[in-house]
Amino acid sequence: MFLSRRATQAEYFDAERPLAELQQFYQALASINALFLVSEPFQRYIPRLLGQENVRQLSLLDLGAGDGSLGHSLTNWAARRGWAWRVVNVDLNVSALGLSGSRLNVAASVVALPFQDRSFDVVIASQMTHHLNEVDVPRHLSEAWRVARRAIVISDLHRNAALYCGLWILFLVTRFPHSFRTDALLSVKRGWRISELGELARNAGLSGARTSLYFGSRVVLQARKS
């Protein structure tokens, strides 16, 4: 059946690309992220997991941050509530981090984080887990858990036909670069389903992690330390 098996083919932007192409990619991703309210699961679940009164001052680590736009939007969102959130971006792609305008950037792989245990209050990741395979997802989750003091929240595309068709139609009526459209559709094909991510979390030793479907388009994993 369509999308029953996860694709493993590499995306165009998995390889190093010229800066101009990368800039174009992140401009396009910003529009899609705004349309699909990509920051929303973090805005909803972080205060819910920790309690509103415990999120006034938070250090966050964003894994696979790309151009750091999630950190930027969460910091601004928190500031509007009078909260001080500070986000450190991690990505393998130094050129992407260079687009962030932030000084809080660390070039590293999410499967081997250069931080001590419990270094950040909350560890987050958005649209990154589908880039990893079955061996690396548990390594990524256990590293995220290790460096988190209080909680982790991971959100990614859910592999399903409705999301794939929705994006396909959107790309039919809008103008996005060809490489972006191809990667976005392939990202859905590479997405993890709820049960798959749940099993990978158990393989990582995160028996208390909860995975759920978020408005039909995303799989969200959340876990809190006691």
Ligand X SMILES: C[S@@+](CC[C@H](N)C(=O)[O-])C[C@H]1O[C@@H](n2cnc3c(N)ncnc32)[C@H](O)[C@@H]1O
What does the binding site for ligand X look like in residue numbers (CB under 6 A)?
29, 33, 38, 64-66, 69-70, 91-93, 96, 109-111, 126-128, 131
Nearer to ligand X, 126 or 222 (CB): 126
Tokens of 176: 């996005």
Side-chain-side CA neighbours of 9 within 13 Å: the count stands at 12
Cβ(126)–Cβ(38) below 8 Å: yes
How far apart are CB 65 and ligand X at their closest, in Å?
Answer: 5
How far apart are CB 82 and ligand X at their closest, in Å?
Answer: 26
What residues form DSSP beta bridges with 153? 124, 222
Nearer to ligand X, 88 or 96 (CB): 96
Nearer to ligand X, 57 or 76 (CB): 76
Nearer to ligand X, 4 or 178 (CB): 178
Cβ(64)–Cβ(90) below 8 Å: yes
What residues form DSSP beta bridges with 219? 156, 213
Name residues whose C-beta falls within 8 Å of residue 15's C-beta, 6 or more positions apart in sequence.
Answer: none
DSSP letter assigned to residue 15: S
Nearer to ligand X, 8 or 226 (CB): 8
How far apart are CB 206 and ligand X at their closest, in Å?
Answer: 18
| Side-by-side strand order, sheet with 57-63 | 105-107, 84-91, 57-63, 120-126, 148-157, 218-224, 210-214
Nearer to ligand X, 33 or 105 (CB): 33
* Reduced 3-state DSSP string for 139-161: HHHHHHHHHEEEEEEEEEECCCH
For residue 9, report the phi and psi dihedrals to the nearest 5 degrees: -60, 140
d(CA 30, CA 28): 5
Planar angle of CA 97, 200, 218, nearest 5 degrees? 60
How far apart are CB 134 and ligand X at their closest, in Å?
Answer: 14
Nearer to ligand X, 34 or 56 (CB): 34
